[in-house]
Amino acid sequence: MNPFILALQARNLTVEIHHHSAYQIVLSNDTPFDSTISGKLNERIHGFLIKPHVTHFCVAEKGTLNVLNIEPYSSIGLELAGRFKDGEDFIVFDSPTETNAFFQTAKDTLDVNNIIDALLSKLPIANYDERVTKIVEYIKANYFQSDITPQTFADIVFLSPSRLASLFKKQTGSSLSKYLLWTRLRQAIYLTLSDKDRSLTDIAYDTGFYDLPQLNKYMYEMFGMPPKALKYSSDLIQVY
């Protein structure tokens, strides 16, 4: 199952002030970096976790950053919400040891795969309904089709759109439309960062968006920057 995590590793990543709908975890692999979060400057930190819609920006021109975005209404997003104290909008990590302690990885050095595994381990064990699994497999194979509708999914598993929507949300914590959107955005971001010669308009069409303005809208809403800004502000190392 797609756990509503979009994680990538990039170097020379510097972003302007922004906010977005996703929870975000930013972690340094090597060099400490500076970040202003909600108007407060945090110098030489190794990472942070922020709630949705909190303004922030990072300056990490000499290091490597891992950026994890999490859908706020997914099971994992709801689990993260419970880690904040009352009135707390962000949590800063001053060392890899502190990061690992927070995410309970029992490690001294930072490995983002361990962080992801620790996040996933907090999810309840679920035996997914075969109809949900069938929809997930369909999206994986057909996310690039722009004419997918709720009725498309309903016809595949012989349920009404409303019953299928309820079942999917109950089992994943988030909506079917968000699952499809995150699948498309993950692929669009990967293509944007890994094929710098490819036009953003072509990437939008090839990942199921109606046009580039629609891709721009959803990327800005979810991650706080349009694909053009991401394309020219970092060098992708890998997508997890």
Please report, for the chain, the start and end positions of each structural domain, with discontinuous segments joined by +. 5-121, 130-224
What's the average model confidence in pLDDT over 122-145?
90
- Residue 191 CB partners (closer than 8 Å, separation 6+): 198, 203, 206, 207
Whole-number pLDDT of residue 17? 81
**224 vs 26, which has greater pLDDT?**
26
Whole-number pLDDT of residue 110? 81
Whole-number pLDDT of residue 1? 47
Whole-number pLDDT of residue 227? 85
**240 vs 21, which has greater pLDDT?**
21
Taking only the tens place, the pLDDT of each residue in 153-195 is: 999 999 999 999 999 998 888 899 999 999 999 899 889 888 8
pTM, two decimal places: 0.87
Q: 176-194 vs 212-223: helix axis angle to the nearest 10?
A: 100
Exposure on the CB side of residue 177, measured as CA atoms within 13 A: 8
Mean pLDDT for all residues in the chain: 88
CATH topology for 5-121 is: Jelly Rolls (2.60.120)
CATH topology for 130-224 is: Arc Repressor Mutant, subunit A (1.10.10)
